Structure 1
Amino acid sequence: MKLSDQIKPISYLKAHAAEIVRNLSSRDEPLVITQNGEVKAVMQDIKTYEHTQETMALLKMLALGQLQVEQGKVQPAADVIARLRNRGKTD
């Protein structure tokens, strides 16, 4: 992804807003908006945004799982399965 082709000033956004919104879903790249020469915002279509959020959530779960492994907060799967199977049984 070459972001340098996707950098536009805010004046371009103001003048071409409808066109930009129409074309966002056909691109795989975000549009970077600058103001006074500084990057201020990134625009992307909703499907790409949702995919990014889902990916971030999965990465967070993996990181938390890895932390739990490192902290020794794990149990053998067989023990957990046996406990779940026996949960509703009474002696």
Structure 2
Amino acid sequence: MNYTNQIKPISYLKANAAEVLDTLTQSREPLVITQNGEAKAVLQDVASYNETQETMALLKILALGNRDLEEGRVAPADDVFTRARNRNTKE
């Protein structure tokens, strides 16, 4: 993605906060905020933020699963499903 148009100085944010929020919500593209010509923050709409957090959580689960595989902490799927069914019938 090309974020060239999505870079604004902090003074622009201060002067146009409501417009910036509307644009973020509609475009769903992040906005880079600069201070003294240096990138300092990234703003994004709440829906995009939530999607990012969900994606990060899934990636963490995958990484943990990969680590379990590498360390040999695995069980046959049939055993796992049998244990799960037995757990559900006890509750």
Larger radius of gyration: 1
TM value normalised by structure 1: 0.88
Distance 2:82 2:76 in 1: 10
- Structure 2 segments unaligned to the other structure (5+ residues): none
Aligned length: 89
Q: Indicate the SS of the match to 1:39.
A: strand
Would you tell me which structure has more helix in proportion to its own residues?
A: 2
TM-score under structure 2 normalisation?
A: 0.88
CA RMSD of aligned residues (A): 1.6
Alignment partners' CA distance in 1, 2:58 and 2:17: 33
Q: What does residue 74 of structure 1 align with?
A: 74
The reply on whether 1:38 has 2:38 as its aligned counterpart is yes
Distance in 2 between the 1:85 and 1:26 partners? 45
**2:51 & 2:82 partners in 1: Cα distance?**
36
Alignment of 1:20-31 (within 5 A): 20-31=20-31
C-alpha distance in 2, partners of 1:28/1:84?
Answer: 40
Cα–Cα, structure 1 residues 84 and 16, in superposed 2: closer, same or farther, change >3 Å?
Answer: closer
> Which residue in the other structure is 2:14 paired with?
14
Cα-to-partner distance string for 1:26-65 (whole Å, 9 max, x where unaligned): 1131000000111111011100000000000000100110
**What fraction of aligned residue pairs are identical, expressed as a percent?**
63
